[in-house]
Amino acid sequence: QVQLVESGGGVVQPGGSLRLSCAASGNSFSIYDMGWYRQAPGKQRELVAVITSGGITNYTGSVKGRFTISRDNAKNTVYLQMNSLKAEDTAVYYCNAARSMVDHWGHGTQVTVSS
């Protein structure tokens, strides 16, 4: 069982930056594919970025060039660096750990981009 705890959300002005962190419990972190998802009010949850156990990354089109996902297996942590934030990035951001068709989710952290 993996437990995930997100942190780093908050309120930021358009054009600003935030770094989200997701700390995972357990000692098998390195074998999980890790992802960040987000859900805005009235919308479905969507994939933002993923980093595989082998370090391959992928991003949804709207965040390419602005967001960077990374992981530190020694710290059991995955990060999402978000730059040039826009109002449409406002959402609850969730951390996900996936392996063998089993998903684990954190409780989410709110990101609000507003002037």
Show the 3-state SS of 10-55: EEECCCCCEEEEEEECCCCHHHCEEEEEEECCCCCCEEEEEECCCC
Which tokens is 69 given?
Answer: 């996902």
Tens of pLDDT, residues 58-91? 999 999 999 999 999 999 999 999 999 999 999 9
Tens of pLDDT, residues 1-28? 789 999 999 999 999 999 999 999 977 8
